[in-house]
């Protein structure tokens, strides 16, 4: 494949006794049988912001078109947010670089740019990358397979188009991107008609019907209404720019905009 989420105690009890997370196992309250989402690790904001500031020169070298946005989302539902950095390429759907804190160090776990993955990646770097231009594209849903974040990653040209549903898991305490299903189309430039269709499910070739069934799990899952928050350059052109000061102002505002998912999950647990 191409490299480019209480309200009331009752609500919490309904959720916490039944929740099944996609990937990360929730912690167990030692004083009860309820399952609870883990508490965020202390200092995650300082860890990510320090990483961005210390590596600003490297970032600007790897992202020649600039870094357009920063956001923090608990994609693997382990209690501590991951960091999403959007590049500013010419693509209609921007690429996203995802970072997690592993053993106290920030590392890249998914990237649309080989150079970024090479500079900040490790054995945790996934071959599955994400193309999207909005923080809100990351959806927190309750599916038949449990709770998880997922995104419809897509890109294309006048002649081709592809899209891929990517699910976010936690493997050995690290955010991991997983390809659920993908579709690739080629068009006749003169007529606009599709001349080639290819489908895959879980990375293996499949037909359109199998692709539709795999996608349906996420497209028809119960959306919690959670909209991830972050900051893009164009949100405040007077304060944000590609200089170190402007970029770090944007990143600090993005960290302050982080929204915990607990209330959204608890509310969703009340729904049929």
| Residue 32 maps to a domain | yes
3-state secondary structure of 219: helix
Q: How far apart are CA 266 and CA 170, in angstroms?
A: 21
Kindly tell me the number of DSSP H helices and DSSP E strands found in the chain: 7, 15
| Residue 3 maps to a domain | no
Strands, DSSP E only, in 157-250?
160-171, 174-187, 194-201, 204-206, 222-223, 230-232
Q: How far apart are CA 161 and CA 242, in angstroms?
A: 30
| Residue 36 maps to a domain | yes
Q: Can you tell me which residue has the tokens 């995104």?
A: 151
Cα torsion through 223, 100, 130, 166, rounded to 10: -50
Quote the domain boundaries for residue 191: 9-269
| Residue 89 maps to a domain | yes
Do 224 and 268 meet the contact criterion of CB atoms below 8 Å apart?
yes
**DSSP category for residue 136:** G
| Residue 2 maps to a domain | no
Q: How far apart are CA 64 and CA 4, in angstroms?
A: 16
pLDDT in single tens digits along all 272 residues of the chain = 444 333 222 233 323 333 334 444 444 333 332 345 667 777 999 999 999 999 999 988 888 777 899 999 999 998 899 999 998 765 456 789 999 999 999 999 999 888 777 788 778 999 999 999 899 999 999 888 888 999 999 988 778 899 999 999 999 999 999 999 999 999 888 888 888 999 999 999 999 999 999 999 999 998 988 999 999 999 999 999 989 999 999 999 999 999 888 766 655 554 55
Do 154 and 171 meet the contact criterion of CB atoms below 8 Å apart?
no
| Residue 4 maps to a domain | no
| Residue 112 maps to a domain | yes
Radius of gyration, CA atoms only, the chain? 19
Side-chain-side CA neighbours of 81 within 13 Å: the count stands at 27
| Residue 96 maps to a domain | yes
According to the model, what pLDDT value does residue 269 have?
Answer: 53
Burial (CB < 10 A; 0-12, 13-18, 19+), residue 20, is middle
**DSSP category for residue 255:** H
**DSSP category for residue 21:** B
- The two structure tokens encoding residue 240: 């944000």
According to the model, what pLDDT value does residue 31 have?
Answer: 34
Contacts of 115 (CB under 8 A, 6+ apart): 62
| Nearest of 57, 47, 112 to residue 81 by alpha carbon | 47
pTM over 0.85? The answer is: no
Q: How far apart are CA 45 and CA 88, in angstroms?
A: 23
**Number of independent structural domains in the chain:** 1
């Amino acid at each position: 494949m191409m490299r480019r989420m209480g309200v009331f105690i009752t609500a919490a009890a309904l959720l916490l006794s039944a929740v099944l997370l996609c990937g990360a196992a929730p912690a167990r309250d030692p004083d009860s049988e309820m399952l609870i989402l883990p508490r965020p690790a202390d200092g995650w904001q300082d860890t990510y912001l320090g990483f961005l500031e210390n590596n600003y020169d490297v970032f600007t070298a790897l992202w020649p078109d600039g870094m357009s946005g920063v956001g923090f989302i608990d994609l693997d539902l382990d209690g501590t947010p991951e960091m999403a950095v959007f590049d500013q390429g010419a693509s209609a759907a921007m690429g996203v670089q995802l970072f997690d804190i592993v053993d106290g160090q920030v590392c890249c776990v998914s990237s649309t740019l080989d150079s970024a993955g090479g500079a900040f990646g490790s054995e945790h770097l996934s071959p599955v990358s994400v193309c999207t231009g909005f923080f809100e594209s990351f959806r927190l849903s309750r599916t038949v397979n449990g709770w998880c974040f997922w995104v419809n990653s897509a890109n294309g040209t006048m002649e081709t188009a592809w899209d891929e549903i990517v699910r976010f898991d936690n493997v050995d305490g690290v955010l991991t991107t997983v390809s659920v299903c993908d579709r690739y189309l080629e068009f006749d430039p003169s007529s606009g008609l599709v001349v080639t269709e290819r489908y895959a499910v879980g990375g293996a070739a499949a037909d359109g019907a199998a692709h539709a069934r795999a996608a349906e799990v996420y497209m028809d899952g119960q959306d919690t209404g959670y909209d991830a928050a972050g900051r893009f350059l164009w949100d405040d052109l007077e304060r944000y720019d590609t200089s170190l000061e402007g970029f770090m102002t944007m990143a600090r505002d993005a960290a302050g905009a982080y929204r915990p998912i607990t209330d959204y999950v608890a509310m969703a647990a009340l729904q049929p």
